[in-house]
Structure formats: C-alpha cells, structure tokens
Amino acid sequence: MFEQLKVLSNRLDELNILLADPAVIADQGRYLRLVQEHADLEPVVHDYQAWIDLCTAIDQHRRLLTDSDDQEFRELVRDELSMQDAQLRELEDRLNEAVSPKDPNDARNVVMEIRAGAGGDEAALFAAVLYRMYSLYAESKGWHVQLVDVHETEIGGFKEVVFLVEGQGAYSRLRFESGVHRVQRVPVTESGGRIHTSTVTVAVLPEADDVEIEINPNDLAIDTFRASGAGGQHVNKTDSAIRITHKPTGIVVTCQDQRSQYKNKDQAMAVLKARLLEREQSYQTGSIADDRRSQVGTGDRSERIRTYNYHQGRVTDHRIGLTLYRLESVLSGDIDEIIQALMTEAKSQQRQGEARP
C-alpha cells in the first residue's frame, strides 16, 4: 500500500508542475482532466504525509519512554502515544480505502432514468416521488440536476423521466439505486382505502466522455418536434424538442425540457452516449448486452430491491436486509444511511472475493 502512496505523492508533485504550464492551460480538455485528478489525489497525499509525520512523532515518544525515569512524565507520554496510535489506525484505514480498487465509473456524472412499472397511475405518481427524492438528495450533496425528458400523466405522475446528475462522485453513490422500487400505500385514486402495491424502475448510467464514444453522424436520425405534456406543461410553440435515433443499435433518445433546440440536442446526445457506453462496457465484461434490463428487470411486483411502505412508515432495502422507520425523511432525500450501508456491503464482498485463492 505504501509503495502505491509514494507513487501517488510523486504524481501530485508532477501535477502541480503541469497545471502551471501555459501549454497545458491552453488545452482546456487536458487541463480539466488534470484538475480533476489533482482534486482526487490531494486529500490522499495529505493523509499520507500526515501518516509519515505521525509515525515520526510516535517514534520520538517511544524513545522518550526509554530515556526518562520520571514516572509522571512517562505516564503523560503513554497517554499521548495511546491517542497517536488511534489516529494512526484511522489514517491507515482511510489510506487503505483510498488505494483499494475502484469502479472506473465512480467519479462520473450519471444519467438516471425512472419509469413507472406495474400499477398504472399509482406507479406514475410514485415515479414523480422518486424523482423528487433523488433531486433533493443531489441538492444536499451540492450536485446539479438537469431534466432531460419527462412524460407526465394527467394527474401529475411521470410515466418516464430522464435526468442528468452532475457532481463529484455521483455515480459512486447513485449506482446502487438501479433496480425495481416497490411502493405499498393507499392510492389517491382509491376510494375504498385499500393498500395497493406498485413498482417503479430506476436505471443509473455513467455519463460518457467524448473521447470514449465516437458517433458517426451518418448513423443518426435526428427529428425535431413540438414539446408537449399533460395540462400544458413543457409545451412550446416552436419545434424545439429533439428525437435522436441511433440506427445501428435502434436506441432512441428524446429531449424536450429546454426551450433551445441546441440545448435539447446536447442533452439528448449526452444520454445517447451514456447508453452506448453502458452497452459497450456490458459487452466488454461479458454481461448482458443491454445492462439496463438487468438493472431494472421487468418491473413486476415480485422483483424489487427496495420497498417503501407508507402504512408502516417503513423503508426496507432487500439486498442487505436494512429497514428504517423514517419513510418521510427518506423520501425527502435523506438516503445516505441506505447508500452508505450498500457501499460498505459492496466493499466487504469485494474484499472477500480478493481473499479467495
């Protein structure tokens, strides 16, 4: 581990030189990538230097114990060593975490797609609730949410909503949200007071960099149309909405949220590249070509990663057996406890896999 940390420390020194080079600054694409790498490395190297300094201090205190005959002084030194040993263990845990293998997509922005599954209007209403939950969570993290496309129902639900989440580490945390989310509640459309079960599917895709996905313009069919929506929402008087069809794969992306045709096209292209990147990575890892299907399943009620039970005020994540009785705060974006537990479990499974012969 510490050999890796020496390499990272040397790389940070190199980045400090590169970021002051006028030629690098002039190349905005390279400059931004180096700035991001510097931001990722700086806290790790800071902890590594703190570890070195703490090791030196511990050695000095241990020498004081052997050199002094003053019992009161030796007791003070022992107390200091006890605190320093605890600090050292904490630093070593953080450093070990920093150099552990990571998903190469972790630092990316994400494209999220939420679709109503089983349950009709009630599923669409809960899709809108989940969109609000993720938007509030992103806001709490300082991330930016950009709506790409939404298909609304007459009563305010979403049959489908696609949006970008831009921010450091967005994918590393939101990737665990992929799957079928089940809701159990009395629908607003139900007069008999019976609890219904509905489902919503969520897919989380890492945003692709331009250098990773090259698209031949001849492979695209681009259509413009007039934006529309329930109750007059998202309605334009000009043909600013964009539909892009990638002919080799049949993938279709639409964007109608922005008033500008050019902005809609840019956002639609970002979603298309994310879907193509996901497809390519799925092929490379030998998994199902359309990984979105494995993420969200069919939307059937029996498939679920998480259940939101309104009657009991309960949220249960079935992958790790975690149950929280604070549904309201979870739906208000307070989902860090769930995500952190999922991240911890994923790391535990990764370590177990690495330990097997």
Domain harbouring 221, CATH code: 3.30.70.1660
Q: Does a structural domain hold residue 105?
A: no
Q: Are residues 139 and 9 in the same domain?
A: no
Q: Which of 140, 95, 164, 200 is nearest to 339 (CA)?
A: 140
Quick one: three-class SS letters along the chain?
A: CHHHHHHHHHHHHHHHHHCCCHHHHHCHHHHHHHHHHHHHHHHHHHHHHHHHHHHHHHHHHHHHHHHCCCHHHHHHHHHHHHHHHHHHHHHHHHHHHHHCCCCCCCCCCEEEEEEECCCCHHHHHHHHHHHHHHHHHHHHCCCEEEEEEEEECCCCCEEEEEEEEECCCHHHHHHHHCEEEEEEECCCCCCCCCCEEEEEEEEEEECCCCCCCCCCHHHEEEEEECCCCHHHCCCCCCCCEEEEEECCCCEEEEECCCCCHHHHHHHHHHHHHHHHHHHHHHHHCCCCCCHHHHHHCCCCCCCCCEEEECCCCEEEECCCCEEECCHHHHHCCCCHHHHHHHHHHHHHHHHHHHHCC
Summarised one tens digit per residue, pLDDT across range 274-301 is: 888 777 766 655 543 344 444 444 445 5
**What is the pLDDT, as a whole number, of residue 299?**
47
Residue 175 confidence (pLDDT) above 80: yes
**What is the pLDDT, as a whole number, of residue 134?**
97
Q: Are residues 165 and 312 in the same domain?
A: yes
Q: Is the dihedral of CA 284, 287, 288, 290 positive or negative?
A: negative
Residue 104 confidence (pLDDT) above 70: no
What crossing angle do the helices spanning 71-99 and 2-18 adopt, rounded to 10°?
70
**What is the pLDDT, as a whole number, of residue 117?**
93
Domain count, the chain: 2
C-alpha to C-alpha distances, 89 to 65, 94, 215, nearest whole angstrom: 21, 9, 49
Report the 10 Å Cβ neighbour count for 27. Answer: 12
Summarised one tens digit per residue, pLDDT across range 20-59 is: 999 999 988 888 889 988 988 898 899 899 999 999 999 9
Q: Are residues 215 and 326 in the same domain?
A: yes
Residue 308 confidence (pLDDT) above 90: yes
Q: Are residues 224 and 332 in the same domain?
A: yes
Report how far residue 57's alpha carbon sits from residue 72's, in angstroms, rounded to the nearest whole number.
Answer: 20
Q: CB of 189 within 8 A of CB of 122?
A: yes
State the average pLDDT over residues 81-92. Answer: 89
By residue range, what is the domain housing residue 52?
2-99
Q: Are residues 281 and 217 in the same domain?
A: yes
Q: Does a structural domain hold residue 354?
A: no
Summarised one tens digit per residue, pLDDT across range 137-170 is: 999 999 999 888 888 988 889 999 999 999 888 9
pTM, entire model: 0.62
Q: Are residues 123 and 72 in the same domain?
A: no
Q: Does a structural domain hold residue 352?
A: no
Which residue is it, tokens 């990147």? 277
Q: Are residues 81 and 178 in the same domain?
A: no
